[in-house]
């Protein structure tokens, strides 16, 4: 389930925005949905006009049929008059076909566009969230909101809202027509309308928590499924298929139980019974007036035809309001995600210039969920220097590097690039000039060439991609793949070995021509011979570029210009290999362990 950070109306902070993005009303789910619909005002207007005209013409037909009965009973009835009335009714039906079709098209176009826009808005919002936000989320639940919940908005509008509006017109227009036909005839339908409104309110009150629980449980079920599939190798390695199946079955059973609960609420839907009673009472009232001579046969027929129209809103409200409640619950979940506060801002108007590579940590402290990860960290790296970072697991090595490209921001103190606080830089300009290669390499389910070119300019050539692969010692094994550089790797690069994935990631970094390079144990899955070749390439290409190197390889530590020794989030020592061997007990222990 989502664990939201403190909500912030308007989502003022974002790491990524689109300049021409439409602004929606985020104050409540209903206003948010309405702002999406009103982005295309002509479409809902056509849909509403189509429903009004269709229901008006339908009520008119009931009146004309009543007139036909009176005409047949009249002594001066002629075939010509009946023919004219028949042709009129036929013509009205043809016009109804046009208005109904126009309204349906407009409603469907509105629904499809709202779904498209909402999914786009949510995706842009997710791209703009900080790493801290994403660390706290379950991918399966986010996918449930981005796919299923967004699609429920489509169904909410059409047929949901479309049917509700049509039902409203199918109630108001026949009642107005009945009043014009004979005011006394309104007594029974108006009483029904009052009871119907009360019953409908009770129905919605009972249905709302169930539909919201359904959407939440679907997210929970989807989260478990996504985790099981993503970790299928671990599941099989420990023979835990039966346990995972049982857990998923339990989640699915709870999801099913909520649908059963919804079915019980629908089964107890009172208005359908009320309508049957009302229809009988209305007929009895009409017959009483007929016997008193207040109504003609045709008026009785017209009245009962208008009463029959009221069956549509009574019956369809059982489904339309259920769709509306499910869509509203989905909108609430989507809006919660969009409005969840994020820590960082893209600072589009910030510094945007070529990075020289000077890095300064000025008494930096970083806390994550209230726990200190780095404490009073101070050091300086000159442009072009290679800084090795060593320390035991959990000492804060990776966290330190993530403050440089603003994956996280310092809680106290300052991180400076070229003498400027990283918070003063445009986030896009800063990150585009820093490349990170981590031990756990992520590759997209795309071609090898596309993975290498990820992060480079759009105009990058195949020759440049191939040259980067050669520098990363990846060209040879890529040529052996079934389709070479056009081979599609599996999701997360599972079809490649660890060393192959890392070499592709290194080629990706080479191609972006970074001013600052962060290597987080990036050669751990590469054999010694290949690593030596890669290190020669790195040292040749990164001349004049600043490198932060997290490693346990002695060969890499020794050729670093300076070494930072971290211990429990603190900078225990810094200096060259020789200096630290002479003066740092912590470094000697680490070095002895590596040797």
Cα 54 to Cα 319: distance, rounded to the nearest angstrom: 21
**0.85 surpassed by pTM:** no
Instruction: Check: CB of residue 18 under 8 Å from CB of residue 124.
Output: yes
Give me the pLDDT at residue 491, please.
66
487: left (phi over 0), alpha (psi -120 to 50) or beta: beta
In the Cβ-directed half-sphere of 231, how many Cα atoms lie within 13 Å? Answer: 15
Closest CA to 158 of 327, 26, 330, 34: 327
Give how far the C-alpha of residue 230 lies from the chain's centroid of Cα atoms, to the nearest Å: 19
| Residue 377: alpha-carbon gap to chain centroid | 37
65-89: buried (b, 16+ CB within 10 Å) or exposed (e) per residue?
A: ebbbbebeeeeeeeeeeeeebeeeb
What pLDDT sits at residue 99? 94
**b/e map of 506-527 (b: 16 or more CB within 10 Å)?**
bbbbbbbebbbbbbbbbbbbbe
Q: How far apart are CA 479 and CA 43, in angstroms?
A: 54
Cβ–Cβ under 8 Å, residues 3 and 142: no
Cα separations in angstroms, 234 against 74, 157, 225, 466, 476: 86, 43, 14, 35, 31
| pLDDT for the residue 325 | 87
* Residue 514 backbone zone (phi > 0: left; psi -120 to 50: alpha; other: beta): beta
Q: Per the structure block, which two tokens stand in for 35? A: 């702002």
**What pLDDT does residue 9 have?**
40
Q: What are 115's two structure tokens?
A: 């779904």
Q: Supply the DSSP string of 33-48, one letter for each residue.
A: HHHHHTTSTHHHHHHH
Provide the CATH number for the domain formed by 29-339 in this structure: 1.20.1560.10
Range(s) within the chain of domains with CATH label 3.40.50.300 = 359-594
Where do you find CATH 1.20.1560.10 in the chain? Answer: 29-339
Record the tokens describing residue 495, joined without a space: 């079809």
CA distance 232 to 238: 10
Question: CA–CA distance from 589 to each of 287, 397, 573, 583 (Å)?
Answer: 103, 17, 13, 12
DSSP secondary structure of 555-584: HHHHTSSEEEEEETTEEEEEE-HHHHHHH-
Tell me the average confidence (pLDDT) per consecutive run of 10 residues in the chain, 595 residues long. Answer: 41 72 89 94 94 94 90 77 88 93 94 94 88 80 88 91 93 93 92 90 88 87 84 79 89 92 86 89 92 90 93 88 88 90 80 90 89 91 91 88 90 93 90 84 87 83 90 87 88 73 84 87 64 66 81 78 90 89 83 62
Q: How far apart are CA 186 and CA 291, in angstroms?
A: 18
Query: Which of these, 541, 502, 540, 507, lies nearest to 521 by C-alpha position?
Result: 502
Are 539 and 560 in contact by the 8 Å Cβ rule? The answer is no
Q: Would you identify the CATH topology of the domain 359-594? A: Rossmann fold (3.40.50)
For strands 546-550 and 516-520, give the pairing: parallel
Q: Which of 353, 270, 369, 350 is nearest to 315 (CA)?
A: 270
Retrieve residue 116's tokens. 């498209």
- What local confidence, expressed as pLDDT, does residue 4 receive? 40
CA separation for the pair 521, 55 (Å, rounded) = 70
Residue 369 CB partners (closer than 8 Å, separation 6+): none
């Amino acid at each position: 389930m989502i664990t939201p950070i403190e909500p912030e109306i308007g989502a003022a902070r974002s790491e990524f925005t689109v300049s021409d993005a439409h602004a929606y009303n985020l104050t409540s789910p209903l206003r948010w949905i309405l702002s999406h619909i009103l982005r295309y005002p002509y479409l809902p207007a056509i849909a509403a006009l189509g429903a009004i005209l269709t229901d008006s013409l339908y009520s008119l037909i009931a009146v004309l049929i009543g007139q036909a009965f009176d005409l047949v009973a009249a002594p001066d009835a002629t075939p010509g008059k009946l023919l004219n009335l028949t042709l009129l009714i036929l013509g009205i039906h043809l016009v109804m076909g046009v208005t109904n079709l126009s309204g349906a098209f407009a409603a469907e176009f509105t629904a499809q566009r709202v779904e498209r826009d909402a999914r786009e808005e949510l995706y842009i919002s997710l791209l703009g969230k900080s790493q801290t936000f994403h660390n706290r989320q379950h991918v399966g639940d986010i996918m449930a909101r981005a796919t299923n919940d967004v699609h429920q908005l489509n169904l909410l509008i059409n047929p949901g809202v479309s049917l509700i509006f049509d039902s409203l017109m199918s109630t108001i227009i026949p009642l107005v027509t009945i009043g014009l036909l004979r005011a006394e005839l309104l007594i029974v339908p108006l009483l029904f309308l009052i009871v119907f409104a009360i019953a409908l309110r009770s129905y919605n009150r009972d249905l709302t928590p169930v539909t919201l629980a359904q959407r939440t449980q679907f997210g929970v079920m989807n989260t478990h499924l996504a985790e099981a599939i993503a970790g299928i190798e671990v599941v099989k390695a420990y023979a835990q298929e039966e346990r995972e199946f049982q857990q998923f079955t339990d989640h699915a059973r709870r999801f099913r139980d909520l649908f059963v609960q919804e079915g019980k609420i629908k089964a107890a839907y009172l208005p359908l019974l009320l309508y049957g009673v009302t229809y009988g009472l209305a007929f009895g009232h009409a017959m009483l007036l007929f016997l008193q001579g207040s109504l003609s046969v045709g008026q009785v027929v017209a009245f009962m035809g208008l009463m029959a129209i009221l069956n549509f809103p009574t019956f369809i409200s059982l489904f339309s309001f259920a769709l509306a409640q499910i869509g509203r619950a989905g909108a609430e979940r989507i809006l919660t995600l969009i409005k969840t506060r994020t820590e960082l801002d893209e600072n589009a108007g910030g510094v945007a210039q070529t990075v020289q590579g000077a890095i300064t940590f000025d008494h930096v402290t970083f806390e994550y969920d209230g726990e200190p990860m780095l404490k009073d960290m101070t050091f300086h790296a000159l442009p072009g220097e290679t800084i090795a970072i060593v320390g035991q697991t959990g000492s804060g090595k990776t966290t330190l590097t993530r403050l440089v490209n603003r994956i996280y921001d310092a809680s106290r103190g300052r991180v400076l690039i070229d003498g400027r606080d990283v918070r003063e830089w445009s986030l896009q300009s800063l990150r585009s000039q820093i490349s990170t290669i981590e031990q756990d390499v992520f590759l997209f389910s795309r071609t090898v060439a596309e993975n290498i070119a990820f992060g480079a300019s759009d105009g990058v050539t195949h020759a440049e991609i191939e040259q980067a692969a050669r520098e990363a010692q990846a060209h040879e094994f890529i040529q052996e793949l079934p389709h070479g550089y056009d081979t599609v790797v599996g999701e997360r690069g599972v079809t490649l070995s660890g060393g192959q994935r890392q070499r592709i990631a290194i080629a990706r970094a080479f191609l972006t021509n970074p001013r600052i390079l962060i290597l987080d144990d990036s050669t751990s899955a590469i054999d010694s011979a290949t690593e030596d070749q890669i290190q020669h390439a790195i040292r040749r290409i990164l001349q004049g570029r600043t490198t932060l190197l997290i490693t346990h390889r002695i060969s890499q530590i020794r050729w670093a210009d300076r070494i930072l020794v971290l211990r429990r989030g603190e900078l225990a020592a810094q200096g060259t290999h020789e200096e630290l061997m002479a003066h740092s007990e912590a470094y000697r222990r680490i070095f002895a362990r590596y040797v």
